[in-house]
Amino acid sequence: MLETSRDLQLVQKALERGLLTLSQLKAALIERARDINRNILGPRSLGVILVGGGYLHEEQWIRLLQESQGAGTADPRPAPTPPPRANPTPQAPNNAFAKSTCPP
């Protein structure tokens, strides 16, 4: 089974964005060829090999897929974890302002 043109386009985008190196792609292609040579029924797709081999994060591959389907143009790198938010606890009113220091 040959890779679809969509998969090859996704790999090309990953290479262009620096998410994947040529040596990583080569290793994944060698693994794919081994699957095919073993006559495995339905060998793994290149995307499965890239994610399973740790060459790409699953989120990166998903975002590339979403972009190819027109679901957005977000950066395929995982979004950074936001800093922890302070717990906004309501403050009791300051009674100093309730007392007037000025004579009536």
Contact criterion met (CB below 8 Å) for 43 and 30 = no
Q: Pick the range with the lowest mean pLDDT from 3-12, 35-44, 85-94.
A: 85-94
Assigned token pair, 60 = 């990166």
pLDDT tops 60 at residue 21 = yes
pLDDT tops 80 at residue 92 = no
**Residue 28 C-beta-side C-alpha neighbours within 13 Å:** 23
Neighbouring residues of 1: CB distance < 8 A, sequence distance ≥ 6: 36, 42, 43
CA–CA distance, 28 with 4 (Å, rounded to integer)? 15
In total, the chain counts a number of residues equal to: 104
Summarize pLDDT for 45-85 with one digit per residue, the tens.
Answer: 889 999 999 999 999 999 998 998 885 555 545 544 545 55
What is the pTM (predicted TM-score) of this model? Answer: 0.60
Listed by start position, the domains of the chain span 5-68
